[in-house]
Copies of this chain bind each other. A is one copy, B any other.
Amino acid sequence: MAKKQISDVRRFNRTFSQRIGALQESYQKLGLPLGEARLVYEVGTTGIDVRDLRNRLGLDSGYMSRLLRKLEERKLLATHASAADARVRRIELTAKGKRLFADIDRAGDTVAAGLLAPLRPADRQRLIEAMADVERLTRAAAVRIGPEKASSPAALWCLNEYFAEIAARFDAGFNPAKGLPAPIAEMTPPRGVFLVARLDGRPVGCGALIVETGFIGHIRRMWIASEVRGLGLGRRMLDALEEQAAELQLRTLRLETNRNLAEARALYQDAGYREVPRFSDEPYAHHWFEKALRRRPAP
């Protein structure tokens, strides 16, 4: 990577850190500390479960609890047990809290308008487009891939999206009952792994590795959400699956794909998979691939 590129990116990060610092100061005039304002803003007009809020803001549960008590005392929000699960508490803003939310929201608008105000209309449009580009292109770096339970809500959501997509793209649609099955148990250690790609916590892709007899692994259910496609995530998912395979001491990886998924085929070929004769009964597949893994160096 060119040094010039790195320093360009660093300059951007630096100036934006400053700008965002200035932005945050603008929230301070609302009469409560940043952390509390952020919390009120995240609760929003619709309310939220404490658990979700804690995950989103990444706060310690004790700290969170105390913040909530403080805001409750100020009559900005109210908590009550969730209907679905009596352990989790649901937060809703009071009328006063909603007014504060509106103030915070307005302050955000003002900051944004302040960036646009000095510009001519054409430059405003350019700024917005450039921001969209930066956002899209930096998304890839914010994606984290890791193993999760194949039965987790995120995993099931990904699989659902995956099925919906291939149903739309395969010539004859897709019926999970007819395709080669991939039971959750087989995508669970030690018989396999299920990887989920997340962007800011939200699932945006998945891939499964199923250990077959001997030293052979089977890659299944690889999917990347369209919002993050074209950023090299397919390759990263494949690399992550190979990493898992290496840890499981596998020697060969196999996978199959449908003729309509041209970008997937290109990815597999580019990643060193070579086409082999049919090895599975997957009725929706037209191409079968295989790759010999390099033996792991002893640790």
Residue positions of A touching B, CB distance < 8 A:
1, 5-13, 15-20, 22-24, 108-109, 111-120, 123-128, 130-135, 137-138, 140-143, 200, 231-233, 236
Q: Are B135 and A123 in contact (CB under 8 A)?
A: no
Q: Which residue of B lies closest to A132 (CB)?
A: B8
Q: Are B134 and A5 in contact (CB under 8 A)?
A: no
**Oligomer copy total:** 2
CB-defined contacts of A115 to chain B, threshold 8 Å: 9, 138, 141
> Would you list 25 pairs from A and B whose C-beta atoms are within 8 A, ordered by A residue?
A5-B116, A5-B124, A6-B109, A9-B115, A10-B108, A10-B109, A10-B111, A12-B131, A12-B132, A12-B135, A13-B111, A16-B20, A17-B23, A17-B24, A18-B200, A19-B142, A115-B141, A118-B140, A118-B143, A118-B231, A126-B137, A127-B134, A127-B137, A127-B138, A130-B131
Q: Which residue of B lies closest to A9 (CB)?
A: B112
Q: Which residue of B lies closest to A137 (CB)?
A: B127
**Bound complex: CA A236 to CA B200 (Å):** 39
**Bound complex: CA A135 to CA B12 (Å):** 7
CB-defined contacts of A132 to chain B, threshold 8 Å: 8, 12
Q: Are B114 and A8 in contact (CB under 8 A)?
A: no
**Bound complex: CA A134 to CA B6 (Å):** 17
Q: Given the known A-B contacts A113-B1, A119-B137, are A9 and B128 also in contact in the complex, defined by CB atoms under 8 Å?
A: yes
CB-defined contacts of A23 to chain B, threshold 8 Å: 13, 17
Q: Are B128 and A5 in contact (CB under 8 A)?
A: yes
A231 to chain B, nearest CB (A): 7
Q: Given the known A-B contacts A20-B13, A108-B10, A232-B119, are A114 and B141 also in contact in the complex, defined by CB atoms under 8 Å?
A: yes
Q: Are B135 and A236 in contact (CB under 8 A)?
A: no
CB-defined contacts of A141 to chain B, threshold 8 Å: 114-118
CB-defined contacts of A126 to chain B, threshold 8 Å: 133, 137
Q: Given the known A-B contacts A6-B109, A20-B13, A232-B119, are A134 and B142 also in contact in the complex, defined by CB atoms under 8 Å?
A: no
Q: Given the known A-B contacts A109-B10, A137-B130, are A231 and B119 also in contact in the complex, defined by CB atoms under 8 Å?
A: yes
A282 to chain B, nearest CB (A): 30
**Bound complex: CA A20 to CA B12 (Å):** 11
Q: Are A1 and B117 in contact (CB under 8 A)?
A: yes
CB-defined contacts of A12 to chain B, threshold 8 Å: 131-132, 134-135
